[in-house]
Structure 1
Amino acid sequence: MLSLSLALLAVAVLVWPVRHAPRRLRAVLPVSHHPKHRRRLPRPTSAVLAVAGAFVGWSVLGPGGAVANAVLCLTCWRRWHSRRTARRRAQVTEGMVGALGALVAELRVGAHPATAAERAAMDADPLAAKAMSTVAHTARLGGDVDRALARSAHTEPSLAGVLGHVGRAWRLAARHGVPLAEVLDAVRRDLDQRLQFSRQVHARMAGPRASAAVLAVLPELGVLLGEAIDARPLHVLASTLIGQLLLAGGALLICGGVLWSAKLTDHAALP
């Protein structure tokens, strides 16, 4: 009875639904593993979203609804894309700050720049590791690090500004004989301070962003309130010429205000 209980307990531990359970089962059971090729759905473009939004808007509120919904879809897509780009830029900047710190530490203990860049790439983020590998290969062959980093910046636009600072620092050290570790450490400190300042400004812009969101939602709440008191604003917007014009014009003004306020708040928080 005790052996049966222990066996059941061992099986329960093996199949416990945690992250490492499949790995333990594969180690115990000789199961043939066939990699599955997952089909990734194509990412929607702005044109596809505009057409889909216009079709839905036309079917509900007519031509004015088509214009309004297409503009709304494009605005949402642009805001999502810009916020994703900003997060990615902050992430890669933080990764490069860590990689530059490791590179400077290796240079200060007397390592060759190529060796220091290779060691810095070991524990860096993927994009920062790729940049450090480019630096290592170019420095080992005696090439132009600034030009190599400029070519790398074309493949990853979110790293363009950071790699530009590093390339200019490397060129300055090579041209004027300035210690490379000191110049790169100055670049690292500057990037770190910019990143910290950007986070502080982003946090302080939460109030203006919330105010802009509330102002953008107020017209829709007014329409819903009108429907609640049986004023039938949707009937006016969908069935009359003036309603169609007001619907399209109002959507353009609301989305324009959202984009303009987002531009003001995002520009202040750029690293």
Structure 2
Amino acid sequence: MLSLLLLATALIVWPQLRPLRRLRPRDKREVVVPPYIWLAAAATLTYLVAGVGGLVAGAVLAVTGRRILKQHRRNKALRQAAEALSNGLGGVIDELRAGAHPAQAAESAAEDTPAPAKEVLKAAAAASRLGGDVERTLREMKQPLLGKAVDQLARAWHVSAKHGVALADVLDATRRDLDQRAAFARQVHARMAGPRASALVLAVLPVLGVLLGEFSGARPFHVLTSTAAGQFLLALGAVLGAAGVWWTQRITEVQP
């Protein structure tokens, strides 16, 4: 049964499927293999090589690596979105001090601002042009990358409308605060590069130890894959290693 499963998987992922590609439209002749096929093939290969313990270890490491990569990408997107909003607010401030209406200033600055900050400025411009409540409009926006910054911008607009403070001055203070937060996040991220590298080296050391043991004739791979105690230790080591890497990433990564 296992041999048939491997054979079926090999036939599905085989790259030379010219008859099938000829039947497809010219712009859609590339065969896209579903992700679950690759997942099933990788799980089957891991099970055959390292047993149940290796399968558990591989799953733990794969899930942990995916979560860390996803969090890293999200934090990078947060920094880029905050910087884009800060630059956009700089354009709004310049337009306001030149005598432009807030709606016109926000709309003009939004043209040169990337998303998602662009949508924030456009929403503020539309609400201001129609005489609506800009603060409420901003607070009701669903911006997962700019939640805190948008709330801060809404409070600044509220202060200007309620107390008569110049909108340019309030927005300038908001922009400076965003710049300081972004600069602090970049500085901490740069200083934590050393600890993150040390944690990565420590996570790779067990693999190097197994390889050195194999070269010296101790056969640790055989123990880990062919004995019950080895299977348990393999899964346990993967869990502990993944927990250490995840915790290091958690305490060294700073959100803007």
TM-score by length of 1: 0.78
Q: 1:164 aligns with which of 151, 155, 176?
A: 151
Q: Does 1:216 align with 2:213?
A: no
- Cα distance change of structure 1 residues 201 and 179 upon mapping to structure 2, 3 Å threshold: same
Inter-CA distance 52–184: structure 2 relative to 1 (3 Å threshold): farther
Please tell me whether the aligned partners of residues 56 and 69 of structure 1 are also in contact (alpha carbons under 8 angstroms). no
Between the two proteins, the alignment pairs up a number of residues equal to: 230
Deviation at 1:57, TM superposition (A): 2.6
1:36-60 Cα shifts (integer Å, max 9, x gaps): 689997996xx99987764443222
Residue 93 (1) aligns with residue 93 (2): no
Alignment of 1:205 with 2:205, yes or no, is no
Residue 231 of structure 2 is aligned to residue 244 of structure 1: yes
The one-letter amino acid paired with 2:51 is: G
After superposition, the C-alpha distances for 1:191-249 in whole angstroms (9 at most, x for unaligned) are: 01111111111111111011100110101110111111111111101111100110000
Amino acid at match of 1:224: L
1:70 to 1:91, Cα distance in 2 relative to 1, 3 A: same
Partner Cα distance (2:29, 2:172) in 1: 43
The answer on whether the counterparts of 2:78 and 2:255 sit within 8 Å (CA) in structure 1 is no
Match for residue 263 of structure 1? 250
Cα shift readout 1:49-104 (whole Å, capped 9, x = no counterpart): 98776444322211101110000100110111111111111111111111000001
Whether contact under 8 Å (1:54, 1:67) holds in the other structure is no
Cα distance in 2, alignment partners of residues 122 and 181 from structure 1:
19
Aligned partner letter, 1:74: V
Give the TM-score taking structure 2 as reference length.
0.83
Identity %: 50
The answer for the alignment partner of 2:124 in structure 1 is 135
